[in-house]
Chains A and B, each alone.
Chain A
Amino acid sequence: MEALIAIVIGVLTASGVYLSLRGRTFPVVLGLTLMSYAVNLFLFVMGRLMIGIPPVIQENATYADPLPQALVLTAIVISFGMTAFVVVLALRARAELGNDHVDGEENH
């Protein structure tokens, strides 16, 4: 399972990096979203892969690590805020500059 998760994180990172290097705003937004998935997953599994023991206090003695979960929870919401901001920035740039290239001009 560990190898699977590592591969998933690797693929998400690679896809995210590749897309964020594209020239148009929309793929860059997609790339950033993929990268935030990768980062969130990475942070989350720092608490290791625990199955069936959510950090809700009950009778049992072992729980998954709540700390990375709390970190990632806010990270998810913040990434949404960031994605929204970047999207709107892209729209504004398109309106002001007349194109959707990340450099603000065509034919780079």
Chain B
Amino acid sequence: MTLPIIVAIPFLGAILVSWLGTRGRMLSAYATTFMSFSALMLLLPQAQTVMQGEIVLWRYDWLTSAGLALSFRLDGLGLLFALMILAIGLLVILYARYYLSEKDPMGRFYAYLLFFQGSMLGIVLSEHIIQLLIFWELTSISSFLLISYWRHREDARKGARMALAITGGGGLAMLAGFLLLGEIVGSYELTAILASAEQIREHPWYLPTLVLILLGVFTKSAQFPFHFWLPHAMAAPTPVSAYLHSATMVKAGVFLLARFFPALSYTPEWSWLVGGAGLLTLLIGAYTALFKHDLKGLLAYSTISHLGLITLLFGIGTPLAAVAGVFHIMNHATFKASLFMAAGIIDHEAGTRDMRKLNGLWKYMPYTAVLAMVASAAMAGVPLLNGFLSKEMFFAKTVYLTEEGTIPWLPIMATLAGAFAVAYSLRFIHDVFFNGEPIDLPKTPHEPPRWMKLPVEILVVLCLAVGIFPAWTFGPLWASAASSTLQADLPAYSLSIWHGFNTALAMSLVALIGGIIIYLIRKPLFRWHENSIAHIDARSMFQWLEQKLFGFAAVLNPILHRSSLQRMVAVTMLAAIAVAFAGFWGFGSITGSQPLSPVDPVSLVAALILIGAAIGTVILHRQRFMALLMLSVVGLIVALTFVKFSAPDLALTQLSVEVVTIVLLLLALYFLPSIPPRESGAGRHTRDLVLAGLAGVGAAGLAWAVLTRPYESIAGYFLENSVPGGGGTNVVNVILVDFRGFDTLGEITVLAIAAIGIYALLEGLRLTAPEQDYDGRSWNWDVHPIIPAAFSRLLLPLALLVAIFVLLRGHNLPGGGFIAGLITAVALITQYLANGIEWTKTRMSTGLPPMIGIGLLLATLTGVASWLFGYPFLTTTFTHVHWPLVGEFEVASAMMFDLGVFMVVVGVTLVILLRLGQLHDINRPENVVESEN
């Protein structure tokens, strides 16, 4: 249970801190520290278990049928990363407290940071790969927020967008890869995947799976050709860069390489793809870093280059190389985080990061200079520092490959990259701290506050400690991480500073001297670079692509979307008709084998009336009142159709809905222009007639095709179990309130939402009411005629009685909550129609909206009640009751549910109609109000 809590803490913290941020800057900083620290404290007790080689697993089954579960895993590799994420996170939190200026909202910063931290922890602690991917995408989103933290700056917004586009796109590819992997293995659990290496490698889908997963890895870890987003992400505040680009975000990609190393590697495809991308990235990054004038730009390309180195190590594919890769992940995180922080301090205290202006800072900030020097020496791979050890291992691996005879030129490449690393590290130190005097600095540089240096100091001390006593410091942690990476016992390795005079040491020496030479001849080199390669820019290609895409969208958009609903409906109809007719293709004969039933004269007449009324509605649609009358005829015949074909429930529902619909439309007609202008041209009429004709022919054809074919139903179950299982003989009602009660609950919720929407739409609505009808007669505001008023009052109790009767018998005979609700609504509406709103309002409660809520609640509670008895949601029970005079009958708990349905239907219908009706009173012309009484 500890694992999900560790992951959850930062997320909860993010919410807490964003709230605290409004109450005080320091408060949010303390809360963030506390949250990260408690996650770390929860993690540490687990470390002991994990370092002994055990794997901590935690799972909660969710959708087992889809293979989805919430499951976490802590092994050596996960532990190493989780420790880095939390420990460096804490240092970054402390550092950011001093880095952010008064103007920057601190709560927001820390909230994003915690959000990101939680996502990273989720990646490294996930056992289920789909879950891993969700966290993966969360890091893309949270890093987008972090990079664009200074959202007033255009470069920050653009850089963030680019990072999101690239890493998000890679994430999509990876999702596809994970799905393939899950299909191959038959499980999304890492344990199963790591155990089925043979099966994966021999599967025909191996290559596509590998490529898709690598796309995700390469985009995240900024591997060539996707490396260009990383330098632009430097627009982020420096604490963000220190965090994202040392220990976390970009390491997520190489983390996956390590994670899937046992399952996917040891094939030529792996070696070429991973090794190739790694080598290219290593060289391009190291070369470009030298020519960057921006401090953070230099560090960004250096990061790219080191990520390339790690990728290349995994690409080499031997267990020892992978072990070295894990080692370099740790080392790079420590020295790169401290370098970014140092760069941030310089930027903060000197006001610029441009190395052409920053010179001779040694005089102003000697202490920071020493820290930066040690860290960049580690970056260059100078002996006695951690960077040296892993670089030495890397060189040794390239030599090993040469001895194997596979790639003879690899050591040369490696040495070249090493030389450039020395050169750019040298530039970082020499250009900034020496090399003359500062030029036009915005402010006079000085040492930073005490606590701002502390995180850098800690990291630099770590660089030294690991560099001098590797086996004593991180030896055990690294060993457990490395063995869980390999999923096997570690091969023989030696963690010491001195391995004797060997080729690797010679390469280191050559790189060191070569780097110094490169730095010495930098001036002609810079000129050459400016005139040649500097113009090749992956970013401009991305922007070109982006612009083309936007351009394409701009061309496509007006064609598909003309901001005309009429046209959109036509396009949609056309598409629907095309798809439907495609279904008929190759269908064979439309007419099936089933014998037809005879037509009786009454049905024929009814059908003719319906067809006439439907066409009449169309022809008369400009005479709105007539069209409405025609429409009501259609509705009535449809209700009769339900009667004819054995559906009494439907007929009752249709009839009562018909009444409320017509009242509703009549009310609406009052406010709509009574004589609509003629507008459609002949072309549009023809087009619409063709579309309508096609749709009609299609619908008729489909109905005919189905009706003339044999019939199979799944209704048998419902018919058999309705009485024994549901306690009701009216199967339709039992389905509604029992078998499919959950659906009905959803449906009345939709109704309630529609009513709320209508309520909101009518709020504050002001419409001009007509003073005349379209024949020029002035509107009649007479008192309500006495005869209907009297009759309606007499009718009310009877109608309500019928409604209750229908509600109660609904479980056994046609009726039920829907129908009873509609009957009640009609009965009440009649009062309003016959007696007027004013009269009725004084005599009837208007508290209708709560009724909808109560009804919903009642229906839900009926469902929840079955939990109390240990049954699933909405299980019904029933019993036999003897009622004097009425006799023996069954009472089912579903009746309470039906009562809820009833209340919702009454509430919704009345709310809609009354609100519309009240509109009439509000908007009636001023001069006629008097005459009403």
Please encode chain A, from 32 to 64, with 1 for each CB lying within 8 Å of some chain B CB and 0 for all others. Answer: 011001101110111111111111111000011
Contacts of A49 in B (CB 8 A): 597, 645, 707
Please encode chain B, from 627 to 670, with 1 for each CB lying within 8 Å of some chain A CB and 0 for all others. Answer: 11001001100100110111111100110010011001100110
Q: Does B676 contact A (CB under 8 A)?
A: yes
Cβ 8 A contact of A17, one of B695, B708, B729 = B695
Please encode chain B, from 833 to 864, with 1 for each CB lying within 8 Å of some chain A CB and 0 for all others. Answer: 00000000000000000000000000000000
A56 with B812: CB separation less than 8 A: yes
A23 to B64 Cα, complex, angstroms: 50
A84 with B664: CB separation less than 8 A: yes
B671 with A91: CB separation less than 8 A: yes
B707 with A48: CB separation less than 8 A: yes
B648 with A1: CB separation less than 8 A: no
A74 with B566: CB separation less than 8 A: no
Closest B-chain residue to A9, C-beta based?
Answer: B703
A68 to B2 Cα, complex, angstroms: 50
**Smallest distance from the beta carbon of B907 to chain A beta carbons, Å?**
12
Q: Does B744 contact A (CB under 8 A)?
A: yes
A5 with B707: CB separation less than 8 A: yes
**Smallest distance from the beta carbon of B857 to chain A beta carbons, Å?**
19
Contact A81-B750, Cβ < 8 Å, known A50-B645, A95-B765, A100-B676: yes
B719 with A55: CB separation less than 8 A: yes
B700 with A10: CB separation less than 8 A: yes
Contacts of A77 in B (CB 8 A): 653, 657, 747, 751, 818, 822, 905
A14 to B665 Cα, complex, angstroms: 21
Within 8 A of B (CB), among A84-102: 84-85, 87-92, 94-95, 100, 102
Contacts of A81 in B (CB 8 A): 750-751, 754-755, 908
Cβ 8 A contact of A80, one of B603, B661, B672 = B661
A70 with B695: CB separation less than 8 A: no
Contact A56-B730, Cβ < 8 Å, known A15-B618, A70-B736, A103-B563: yes
Q: Does B795 contact A (CB under 8 A)?
A: no
Contact A84-B627, Cβ < 8 Å, known A10-B699, A66-B731: no
**Smallest distance from the beta carbon of B669 to chain A beta carbons, Å?**
7
Of B32-40, B85-93, B685-693, the one with at least 4 CB within 8 A of chain A: B685-693
Cβ 8 A contact of B566, one of A13, A94, A108 = A108
Cβ 8 A contact of A103, one of B565, B614, B747 = B565
Contacts of B671 in A (CB 8 A): 91, 94
Closest A-chain residue to B913, C-beta based?
Answer: A84
A46 with B732: CB separation less than 8 A: no
B566 with A10: CB separation less than 8 A: no
Contact A34-B680, Cβ < 8 Å, known A41-B641, A73-B649, A92-B765: no
**Smallest distance from the beta carbon of A75 to chain B beta carbons, Å?**
9
Q: Does B929 contact A (CB under 8 A)?
A: no
Contacts of B437 in A (CB 8 A): none
Closest A-chain residue to B750, C-beta based?
Answer: A78
Contact A66-B715, Cβ < 8 Å, known A5-B703, A45-B645, A45-B707: yes
Contacts of B813 in A (CB 8 A): 56
Closest B-chain residue to A89, C-beta based?
Answer: B761
A63 to B564 Cα, complex, angstroms: 48
Contacts of A55 in B (CB 8 A): 646, 715, 719, 730-732
B703 with A72: CB separation less than 8 A: no
Interface SS majority for chain A? helix
Interface SS majority for chain B? helix
B668 with A87: CB separation less than 8 A: yes
Contacts of B708 in A (CB 8 A): 2
**Smallest distance from the beta carbon of B778 to chain A beta carbons, Å?**
22
**Smallest distance from the beta carbon of A55 to chain B beta carbons, Å?**
4
B704 with A6: CB separation less than 8 A: yes
Q: Does B766 contact A (CB under 8 A)?
A: yes
A1 to B641 Cα, complex, angstroms: 12
**Interface residue count on the B side (C-beta < 8 Å):** 112
Cβ 8 A contact of B699, one of A1, A25, A42, A63 = A42
Contact A3-B673, Cβ < 8 Å, known A45-B707, A54-B814, A89-B761: no
A54 with B611: CB separation less than 8 A: no
A65 to B622 Cα, complex, angstroms: 40
Closest A-chain residue to B563, C-beta based?
Answer: A103
Contact A29-B665, Cβ < 8 Å, known A6-B701, A57-B729, A81-B755: yes
A87 to B657 Cα, complex, angstroms: 15
**Smallest distance from the beta carbon of B756 to chain A beta carbons, Å?**
10
Closest A-chain residue to B714, C-beta based?
Answer: A67
Q: Does B615 contact A (CB under 8 A)?
A: yes
Q: Does B573 contact A (CB under 8 A)?
A: yes
A34 with B754: CB separation less than 8 A: no
A54 with B597: CB separation less than 8 A: no
Contacts of A108 in B (CB 8 A): 564, 566
A33 with B631: CB separation less than 8 A: yes
A22 with B731: CB separation less than 8 A: no
**Smallest distance from the beta carbon of B762 to chain A beta carbons, Å?**
6
Q: Does B505 contact A (CB under 8 A)?
A: no
Q: Does B696 contact A (CB under 8 A)?
A: yes
**Smallest distance from the beta carbon of A97 to chain B beta carbons, Å?**
12
Q: Does B916 contact A (CB under 8 A)?
A: yes
Within 8 A of A (CB), among B710-739: 711, 713-715, 718-719, 722-723, 729-732, 735-736
A26 with B672: CB separation less than 8 A: yes
Please encode chain B, from 275 to 297, with 1 for each CB lying within 8 Å of some chain A CB and 0 for all others. Answer: 00000000000000000000000
Contact A20-B569, Cβ < 8 Å, known A1-B599, A55-B719, A94-B671: yes
Q: Does B828 contact A (CB under 8 A)?
A: no
Contacts of B622 in A (CB 8 A): 27
Closest B-chain residue to A22, C-beta based?
Answer: B621
Contacts of B719 in A (CB 8 A): 55, 57, 63, 66
**Smallest distance from the beta carbon of A101 to chain B beta carbons, Å?**
8
Q: Which of A7, A17, A72 has the most CB of B within 10 A?
A: A17
A54 with B617: CB separation less than 8 A: no
Contacts of B707 in A (CB 8 A): 2, 5-6, 45, 48-49
Contacts of A41 in B (CB 8 A): 638, 641
B615 with A11: CB separation less than 8 A: yes
Cβ 8 A contact of A18, one of B618, B638, B715, B722 = B618
Q: Does B767 contact A (CB under 8 A)?
A: yes
**Smallest distance from the beta carbon of A93 to chain B beta carbons, Å?**
9
Q: Does B930 contact A (CB under 8 A)?
A: no
Q: Does B578 contact A (CB under 8 A)?
A: no
Closest A-chain residue to B754, C-beta based?
Answer: A81
**Smallest distance from the beta carbon of A3 to chain B beta carbons, Å?**
7
A73 with B732: CB separation less than 8 A: yes
Contacts of B9 in A (CB 8 A): none
Cβ 8 A contact of A3, one of B648, B704, B762 = B704
Contacts of B696 in A (CB 8 A): 10-11, 13-15, 17
Q: Does B154 contact A (CB under 8 A)?
A: no
Contact A67-B573, Cβ < 8 Å, known A74-B744, A100-B672: no
Chain B interface (Cβ within 8 Å of chain A)?
A: 563-566, 569-570, 573, 596-600, 603-604, 607, 610-611, 614-615, 617-618, 621-622, 624, 627-628, 631, 634-635, 638, 641-642, 644-650, 653-654, 657, 660-661, 664-665, 668-669, 671-673, 676, 679-680, 688-689, 691-693, 695-704, 706-708, 711, 713-715, 718-719, 722-723, 729-732, 735-736, 740, 743-744, 747, 750-751, 754-755, 757-758, 761-762, 765-767, 812-814, 818, 822, 905, 908-909, 912, 916, 919
8 contacts between A and B (CB under 8 A): A4-B607, A12-B699, A23-B679, A26-B668, A46-B706, A73-B732, A76-B650, A95-B765
Known: A5-B607, A33-B631. 6 other contacts (CB 8 A): A8-B607, A17-B696, A74-B743, A74-B747, A77-B751, A80-B661
Return the 4 tightest CB-CB contacts between A and B, nearest first: A10-B700, A14-B696, A18-B692, A64-B646
